[in-house]
Each structure stands twice: as C-alpha cells, then as structure tokens.
Structure 1
Amino acid sequence: MTLGPLIVQSDHTVLLEVAHPDAEDARHELAVFAELERAPEHIHTYRVTRLGLWNARAAGHTAEEIVATLDRYAKFPVPTSVSGEIADTMRRYGRLTIERLDPADANSELVVRSDEPAILREIASAKKIAPLLGNKIDERTYPVAAWARGQLKQELVARGWPAEDLAGYTPGEPHSIELVQDGWHMRDYQQKAVDAFSLGGSGVVVLPCGAGKTIVGAGAMAAVGAKTLILVTNAVSARQWRDELLRRTSLTEDEIGEYSGQVKEVRAVTIATYQILTAKRRGEYAHLSLLNAHDWGLIVYDEVHLLPAPVFKLTAELQARRRIGLTATLVREDGREGDVFSLIGPKRYDAAWKDIEAQGFIAPAECFEVRVELPESERFDYSIAEDQDRYRIASSASVKETIARRIIERHAGESVLVIGQYIDQLESMAESLGCPLITGQTPVDERERLFNEFREGRERLLVVSKVANFSVDLPDASVAIQISGSFGSRQEEAQRLGRLLRPKPNGASASFYTLVTRDTVDQDFAQNRQRFLAEQGYAYTIMNADEL
C-alpha cells in the first residue's frame, strides 16, 4: 500500500508533501474545506477551519466525505479528535434557522428557531445577541427585530452557530431578462454555478479569472427575473459588464444604467461602483441610501473579496434581497471572510483553476520568481530605513527596470503587462520602456482606448498600476511582469495572474513573472502572495536574474 501525501495533525493543520505522486489530487480535494497557510518548496501547510467546513457544508459536502478524503490521502492515521471535531463543526451549520413565523406569509414576523432549546437559550443570553431578539415565543422560537437579520447572522457565526436563512426574499420589481445564446452556450460549470445559486437563494460563486463569472452573473439575473443592482470595482469594469450583458442577454441599452463618479443613471439593471457607494457627502454615505430605496430583486457583488466595509453595512440591511457574490478567491486580507459568509451568503459553488484549465477554458500558466540583488547604494538606504519604508525601497529596486527589459526581450512579439504598486516606480518604468502608463489618475476614456489598442494588438506593452487588477478583460495578454505589489496580498496575486488566463488562440501558455529583491521584506511578502497560487496548484520556478 502506498503511503499518502498528507500528515494530519491534532491542531487541525495538514502537511502536504509536494513531490508525492498523489499531491495534486490531494490538493484539489483539500481546497474544498482547508486554507493554505504556508507554501515553501517541499511541504505545504493547510489548516482546517470552522469557516472552511461551514462553506463546504453549505456547498453540499458532508463531514463523512471530508474525513474520508483525509483518510484516503493520509500517511498516518487521522487523529480521532480531528475527525470528531470536523463532524461536530459541520453539524453546527443549520441547527439554527431564521424563518418567518408563518412560512406561508412573506410579511409575517421574523424568527430564529431551533429544535434544541439549549442552543436557543445559549444565544439568547449572549450580550451581543439578546438586543436583537424579542420575548420568547416558545421553547424553540424567538422573534427577531426586522432590521437585525444581517447583524444576527454575523453574531451567530462569531459564536459558532451559523444559521441557515430560510426567511425568503422580497421578489423585487419584476423585469424580464433572458440569456440570448446565439453562437455560444453556457459552459457546464457555469450552468452548475447558476443552478447551485438558484437552489440556495443567496451565496458566493468562486471561479478563476477568465472563467466567465460575468456570464454566471447574467444567468443568475435571468433566473431571478427582476430589477438588479450590480456592484463592481471601477467604471471600466462597469462598462465591460454593460457590454457583456448587451451581448449575452435580451437587455437593451435603455435598460442598463451606470452609477459611478462619471454617470448617475438608475435603471432596471443598474451597475454601480464600490467607490461611489462609499463616497461621503457632509459625512454621510449619500449614495448608499439612494440605491437602497429601489426595489431590487437581486444584488450582484462582483469581486466580492474586495467589498469595502461600508458596503458590508449596507448589505446587513439588505438581507431581504437575493444576493450573489462572484470572486476568484474567498481570501480577504482584512480577515472578514466570516462577514462574506454571513451577509452575502455561503459558498454555493466553486471550480478548481486547474480543472478549468484542463478543459481548455483558461490558459495554462507558468509562474516564475526572479530574484534580484538590491544595489549597494540602495542597500544602505534600506538598512537605515524605518520598517514602514523598507518594503517600498526593496520593491522599487532600480535593477528591476533592467530585468523587466530582459524579460520583454525574451518574449518578443507577445503582449506584455508590467504591473506595480508605486506610481513613481511605474512612471520611471514607462519612460524607460517608452510605452503607455495607466494608473488611477488616467481618465476612464483614455484607459478604455489604451486597453482596446492592447486587445487589438496595436499596443503590445502597457505599464499598469493596481487599477488593472480588477475585472479588466485583456484576452491577448500572455506575459505579466509584477515589479511590486500590495505587500503580501494573496487576493492581488490571484487578480494579476487572472489577467493572463483568457485562452490563447494557439493554445499557448501564459508567463507570470514576479521580480523579488533577495534577502529583504520584498521576498518575505512575495512568499505570502504565492500561497494563493500554490493552493490552486501552480508551482513557482525560482530564477536568478543572471539566468534570463
């Protein structure tokens, strides 16, 4: 009998032996319920978390399946304490339900119920939950304040009792939306994602960049058939959503409105940016209340892992509206994954990046970490700098311009993105390379013009800031060179790799380079960013600059 690639430890960590022949299969199944914590070269460390198990439970997986996965791939017997705690944790999901007192009446009083009175007594006595509840109706039922549906779910998750929300939704103002599958059809995994959302009511769909999350959003809109509010990261993304909806659905231009810094249109389908929703006027979030006043039947959260804090607050008040979150990763650097779970909804569907790549729907990618030396003069500045300045000095090392140029020459004739964090570094890079620069200060029309030229092959090289991380469709990009990033952000790594994953006409691989300054905090942060890619099954080839 071959020993498996996993060592399951009693502290709920799982060690994966990367070189084992079954490592890829084990990694694929672990991703359903465990989070990658560390990804050095030979042994990767995962952790089985409560939230991961509850998301797996909501997506239809059972404790028995998860324990069987660990048993199947374990090198040594799985500790019985771990198996027992997995079963106990997953049993906690849904033992409390939020319902209507009269299920047949959508306007009847909101209640929280359980068949186990002891659980209700426990939560009703909790300091943060008691004010959200009214006087006990019976041993199994407490009334819930109408405004408190979202806040109650947050507090219950924090106490370890995630409630299943069965209270239903306001239908919203009806509006017919049909998919127009003329010359195209929904892929199998896209249809499964729409079906899983339709059955579950609200929740999150996790798909790789380039896998067609917008089409899943359109499918959800057609399934609901009501006025829809779509929340996106920026105005460029808003216009790409509009164009895709016009191409894929029966919606006309008159039915789709844009609500952003440039335009304020509220129509049957309204696409609003997170920036405008979080803009304050006289200390108030004026636009939040305006959008909340409309009778939406569905709210679509694009890139839900980037949801700003004020939008969480709005979402807590919108629990009577159906919600779908779309994302490439549930990782949030602020640790608010629990709020996504409780307020948007649990994970309803996900598809592994490598599975979709194997089907030919996203391009294969090779990932490289190129280690460069900090020049002597900059090394001195680095050594005497305050901690908060060290990352900027290390990640802006002047030698990165030379190395980026070598990589561009190595990929002559390909479409290349140079991506970074610091505007002065990007300005210097664009000037050195003699190519356009796109930042947050670039007017939207100018951004769209440059992105279009890049898509059409009239411009082969762009230097871009983090504005290109989000929802920008650049199907012909085949090379990305990351010269600096948002510290150790795994979600940013996912977005940047995603710029390259649209399938290439000739089936070619994409190439993703990260330039890392050796023996500095730049290298430390790079290791954290790479955890996401390792979790998806991508391996980094580590190169020295002189190997290029």
Structure 2
Amino acid sequence: MNPANPLIVQADRSVFLEAFNPLAEQARAALAPFAELVSSPEHLHTYRVTPLSLWNAASTGLGPEEMVAALTQYAKFPLPANVETDIRELAGRWGRLTLEQFDNGLLLITTESDGALLTELSRHKAVAPLLGDRLSERVFAVPPAHRGVLKQALIEVGWPVDDRAGYAEGDAFAVALAPSLDVRDYQREAAEAFYQAGSERGGSGVVVLAPGAGKTVVGITAMSLVGQRTLVLTTNRTSVNQWRREILQKTQLSPDDVREYAPGKDLAPVTLCTYQMLTHRKRGSQSSDEGAYPHMALIGASEWGLIIYDEVHLLPAPVFRLTAEVQARRRLGLTATLIREDGREGDVFALIGPKRYDQPWKTLEAAGWIAEADCAEVRLRLPPEERLSYATAPDRDKHRIAAENPAKRRVLAQLLRQHAGQPTLIIGQYLDQLELMGQDTEAPVITGKTPQAERERLFQAFREGRLKTLILSKVGNFALDLPDAEVLVQVSGAFGSRQEEAQRLGRLLRPKADGRGAHFYTLVTRETSEEDFAHHRQLFLAEQGYSYRILDEEKVG
C-alpha cells in the first residue's frame, strides 16, 4: 500500500486518478495506452479497462505484465485479484487466434493444442456459418470472402483475430516524396508502424494523431512505402481538394496522377473519393438491394495496393460492409480519435485494423508540433422569457432552445472585440443561429449548401489574411486546412459528441509561424441540458490533458 500514489483500482476494472496528485501526469501516461477515460471532473478522473482497450494495447506490443506493472506502480492499494487476472486473460486473448494464408484460401488457427477454443467458437451461431471445414484440432479453413465478416463476428463474441494472411499486391506505382518534404520523426514512425516492412502483421491498421499534426503526411509517406495504386476515401470535397493539393506539393507526382473520382471517367493511379459519393444510393432503392450503391464498385474496380480511410472514426456503415470484402488490400485509417458515437469502435479494429501508432496531443504540443491551446467554457443564462419556454418544452426541444440562447450573440461580440484582428472561426450546429451571427458580424456563413467553389474562395481569403472571420456550420468540423486560425468560438454543437469537440479544437492546432497559442471558447447555457452535454463533449480532450477554464459571461471582455 502506498497512500502517496494517485490511482485507485476497483474490482469492476474502473480506475480513479487523483488529478491533483504530483504523480498524476506520470500515472496518466502509463494508464492511457490500455484504459479509456470515462469522466474527468476537477479532482478525480475515472478510467475503465475494457477488452477493446486491452486488445489495442496488446496489438502494439504492450504485454499484460506491463499493464499490470503500470497499475501496481501507481496504485494506492493492492490491485484486486480479479483485475490482475482479467488483464492477463483478456489481453492474453490477442494472438491466440490468427488468420493465415494457405494456397488460395485462409486458415483460422489457434495456439491451443487441444482445440477446445475452436470447438466452442465453431458452435456459435454468428461464427459457424463463416467457417469452412475443420482441418485439425487447431485449424479451420475459412473462405476468403468471409475474412472481414469473420473478424467482426469474433470481436463480437470476445475473441480478436491477429490477421496475418497478407495482402494481394496492387498495380505498382512508385510515389517519390518531394526533396523539399521534411517528414517529422513521429510521422515516419507512424507510417513505418503501419507498413512494417517484411512483417506478416504489417499493412493494416489505424494511426491516431492530433489534428494539425500532419496525418496527411503520414498517408503520403505510407503511399511511398507501399508503392502501388492508392485510393483515398475522405469526408468531403474540401478534404479531397486538400489531399490533392498536399499530394502534389509533397510528392513528385503530376496532376494527371492524382484525380478526384468521377463516374464514367478513367481512374487515376491515386484516386480521391468522398464517403458521401461512395455511399450514394440509387433513388428508390433499399440498402439491401443489389446495385443500390452504384459507386461502391470503385473499391474493387482497380488493383489498389493501398486504401486510405481519412477520419476513419466517421466511416459510414455501408463502407464497413464493403471494407469487409476487401481485406486483401492494405488499409490505413487516419484519425484524431478512435471514439465513435455509434459505439462501433470494434468494427474499426476488426476491419481496418488495430491501432498501430498513437501520440498524446500534449506530447506533440510540448515538442512544438501543434499549437498550445487555451480552452474556456463561457457560461451564460437564458433570458427570462426563454427560460419559461425551456422549462415547458418537450425534452427533445430543450437542447436546441439552450443552444440557440440569444445571449450568445452578445457574448460572441465581446469575444470578437477581445480578439480583434486575430483570425477567428465561429462554428455552430443551427443554421438560423449562424445566419443571425453572420448579420451581426458581417462575416460570411459557410453551410452544406454553399457551393464548393465559393467555399474554396472564402477559405483561400482566410488563409491569405484578407478575411479575418468565418462562420461555419458542421462542415467546419473536419479537414479544414486553415493553419493561421487562432481563435475558435463554438456556439452550439451536436449534443454530447466527444469526436466533434476534438475535431473543432483541432481546427486551431496547426503550429503558428510566430509560435502564438490558440484560444478555444465554448458558449454554454447555464442550468440546462447543454451543461451536461458540454461536460460529456470534453471527456476525450480531458484524456489528452486539456482542461477548461470556466468563465461567467460578465467576465468576458
């Protein structure tokens, strides 16, 4: 027993961290690789050790003994016996099942000599239809078409598979990096951790890096390592344009080598496509209809050697289904957070691959690779007349009433005066609210209906400093290359979305030329559901080491 230590480990695998303890940061760094943050009030943060958090850690080479040792080193009290056992047994499941190539088929192999595990799994109703003949006590044949769905099914029943079956080679296409490109050490490490030259485990998985840390460079470096035709899937056309611009700047490829997907046109060696295009469904068709998604054939239409999934935590369900069919292609997922609000993190693990590389945001900040950010939550009251409307509204309407609090327009004006002359982004959920703020500030409002050419014109004006303020709907959550933004004011958001909170802060994290920090403000209505949602939104960033100052509206400006 060591009362000076900061961790309290519970028998239900929850872990409490004393945030005020002098050893808190060391303990957090040791705990975060294999535990998930649940909540982070001021003094006591709660983590939970889950099967998926253990398997992700195990897939990176972190062993059960190291996990137990980390808890033991920082725990106040002896570890509950069941926690030690659970960690060893759950993390120890990784590697006990492997998928391997044999002739033109696949083998599901267990390391156990008696084959009892395979017998049990083969009788599970979700697994049995996906297996072929049993070849021995330790081996089942697996039809290649079932490679992805079998991994999904096994994750669901609590048994991850280490996929060592390798990949079909795509058409060769050399990608030479531009001589002027200075790939940072961590970017190269991330690309190499994914590729793992000569390793049967390499070629699939997810790289997790903060927005602004250069995930695009990781993808480009991976393209150069693979040296084959590449398909890049991303969130929107702004992101497509950004990827194309970055690839042409940072490689020696020509414009003809890198093109956006267009139906009926020839595919380029590096083809870019949005998830929206890929999942476009024929009018009147059902998702189960054959041919319902006419552009889905894109993934199988060329001998891709690499498929890059940008913002992989946003992967739509239809793309999951298709990805299950292309497990023989190398797959790289890029993201700032593995959090999915639909709870399908297990599908990312099974179908894209385990986490191959991760760097804490604060580590990158300390090294100067991303900007230092000051986060503040500004709390303000509803006007009396709105308070009555809120009190009598149905629960489903309460969030919007709180989010559209008219007092936010006054506080926004004060923040803009306080940061006059600094490049500022204003992001919100509700278009009527944003239009009013656009009238107040005389700043342009970009929504999903803004034509792509107009978006690009406004973004370029912001980059060049000719435009100091932009107002964005949720189209501003992702893939915006606006490196000089110094202030972001979040006036409303999508309920308790942790991933949205992280991505919005990420709009500010590109390092500034003069080393200046960034300011992230969230406007929250007091004594409403918006307070609860704001707390939940901040959980992921709290795990990364960010804390929010709480400001009263009277203190602003």
TM-score (norm 1): 0.97
**What is the CA-CA distance between 1:48 and the residue it aligns to?**
0.6
Matching residue of 2:111: 115
Distance in 1 of aligned mates of 2:275 and 2:366: 34
Q: Deviations over 1:291-344 (max 9, x none)?
A: 322111100000000101111011001101000000000000000000000000
Aligned ranges 1:96-495 → 2 under 5 Å: 96-102=97-103, 108-116=104-112, 117-182=115-180, 184-199=181-196, 200-259=202-261, 266-282=267-283, 283=285, 284-495=292-503
Once superposed, which parts of structure 1, at least 4 consecutive aligned residues long, lie more than 6 Å away? none
Provide the C-alpha distance between the structure 2 equivalents of 1:291 and 1:423, rounded to a whole number of angstroms.
35
Q: Which runs of 5+ in 2 are unaligned?
A: 197-201, 286-291
Mapped partners of 2:211, 2:507: distance in 1: 7
Aligned Cα RMSD in Å?
A: 1.3
Instruction: Answer whether contact 1:173 1:296 (CA < 8 A) is retained.
Output: yes
One-letter code of the match for 1:186?
Answer: V
CA deviations 1:160-196 (Å, max 9, x no partner) are 11011111101111111111231x4111111110111
SS at match of 2:155: helix
Residues in 2 aligned to 1:194 and 1:505: alpha-carbon distance in whole angstroms: 26
Question: Which residue in 2 is equivalent to 1:503?
Answer: 511
Counterpart CA distance in 1 for 2:501 and 2:526 is 19
Which amino acid letter does the alignment assign opposite residue 505 of structure 1? A
Segments of 5+ residues of structure 1 without an aligned counterpart are 103-107
Identity of aligned residues (%): 55
| Aligned-pair CA distance for 1:252 | 1.0
Are the equivalent residues in 2 in contact too, given 1:481–1:513 (CA < 8 A)? Answer: yes
The one-letter code sitting in structure 2 at the alignment partner of 1:124 is S
Task: Answer yes or no: is the 8 Å Cα contact 2:3–2:77 preserved in 1.
Answer: no
Deviation at 1:264, TM superposition (A): 5.8
Count of residues in correspondence between the two structures: 541
Counterpart code for 1:148? H
| 1:41 alignment partner in structure 2 | 42
Inter-partner Cα distance in structure 2 for 1:326 and 1:260: 24
Q: Is the 8 A contact 1:235 1:260 kept in 2?
A: no
> CA separation in 2, counterparts of 1:58 and 1:356?
23
- CA distance in 2 between counterparts of 1:260 and 1:310 reads 20
Q: CA deviation at 1:29?
A: 2.4
Q: CA deviation at 1:146?
A: 2.1
Partner in structure 1 of residue 548 of structure 2 = 540
CA displacement at 1:260 relative to structure 2: 6.3
Letter in 2 for 1:274: Y
* Aligned AA (2:376): F
Q: What is the TM-score with the length of structure 2 in the denominator?
A: 0.95
CA distance in 2, matches of 1:181, 1:213: 19
Check whether the contact 1:258–1:265 (CA below 8 A) recurs between aligned residues: no
Counterpart-to-counterpart distance in 2, 1:16 and 1:2: 13
